[in-house]
Amino acid sequence: MGPLPLPPSLLAKPFAVRDAVRLGIPEDRLRGADLWRPTHGVRMLDPPLDLVERARAFAAASRSPFAFSHVTAAQLLGILVSEEMETDCLLHIVRATTSNRMRRDEVRGHRGLEWRRSILLDGVPVVEPCDTWVDLGEMVGGGKPAGLDDLIAAGDAVANLARGVKPLKQAIERRVRPRGKITLTYAVPRIRVGSASAMESRARLMIVRAGLPEPSLNQHVVSDFGEWLGCADLVWRAERVVGEYQGVRWHSSLEQQAADEVRFARFRRNGWAVVPIVSDDVFEKNHRDAKLIELAEALGADPQTLALGEAAPQFLAPQQFRRPRRR
């Protein structure tokens, strides 16, 4: 005979062992080899295949109010974080200050749920985007896995979701002494609505730090005769220049390269300069300097005035955002 069939209501999603016992399922049946144990006290038919399934499994284990937070919340919300942050495979879970932190091998527990707003996403509670961004401030500087530019890029993504930068500032103000507050406060005025990717955000920061004028983001461009030329990542309308970040994943296919060339040719026929930007132009010094000089010449700026050293990515919080120690 095969194992005792389980009620369909249990098999539809991860379930707590305690709930199955209340339904009269024998405990030895819950130890069967056909059930997966994603965490203590939870069973499911198949192993979780992605973060959403892992989150649902751990949600079944919690008896007190909680929400997924920090890097876990960012990933569930679709906010791109740095590769260094993504190496943190633990599930971040926040509970009320009066509750104990969840202590499991696969979990990093936090407290302070009452200071954060949360939403229900894919059936699980998640700290909402602006409060999640404030939580990411804990991960910047001091040998931690994120840098200032990572925080600003994530802030750009959250500003798109929140339809403005003001909600991020308000999220900082709602907290009582959040970790990383000085860096978060420094980052807010450097966040913009309109960036479509983290690398577009980093390219913008590179350009502005070098002393070049700040571009508009993801703008539609039309010709003098009203012909639509395309939507460009970085746009300087007065100078008739567009910058296009060429990501490896999207722009490496032959079909997309051909489409890009047609679009670039359309811009150029109508008197617009097109400056492609790739990852090396942001992260590698020689490439970065050459690209900034190319942009300066296209914008009619003097390359000699560029602050090339300032354009480098800021991985750690600069010393000036830290409070001086009292003597």
Instruction: Give which of 124, 123, 149 is closest to 136, Cα–Cα.
Output: 149
54, 89 contact by CB (below 8 A): no
Among 272, 280, 270, 198, which residue's Cα sits nearest to residue 232? Answer: 272
Cβ atoms 16, 40 nearer than 8 A: no
- Residue 135: how many other CB atoms lie within 10 Å: 27
Q: What local confidence, expressed as pLDDT, does residue 253 receive?
A: 66
Pairing relation of β-strands 66-68 and 91-95?
A: antiparallel
Q: Quote the pLDDT of residue 143.
A: 65
Give me the residues paired with residue 93 across strands. 68, 109
Predicted local confidence at residue 185, as pLDDT: 93
Q: Give me the pLDDT at residue 327, please.
A: 37
Provide the whole-model pTM.
0.87
pLDDT, residue 314, reads 85
- At residue 319, the pLDDT reads 45
Phi-psi region of 98 (alpha: psi -120 to 50; beta: other; left: phi over 0): alpha
- Type of residue found at 72: T
Provide block-wise average pLDDT over 10 residues at a time, the chain (327 residues). 78 88 90 89 90 91 90 94 79 90 83 94 95 92 76 96 96 89 94 95 97 97 94 97 83 73 93 96 96 98 96 68 42
- State residue 202's pLDDT score: 95
Q: For residue 254, what is the DSSP state?
A: H
User: What's residue 142's pLDDT?
Assistant: 64
Whole-number pLDDT of residue 146: 75
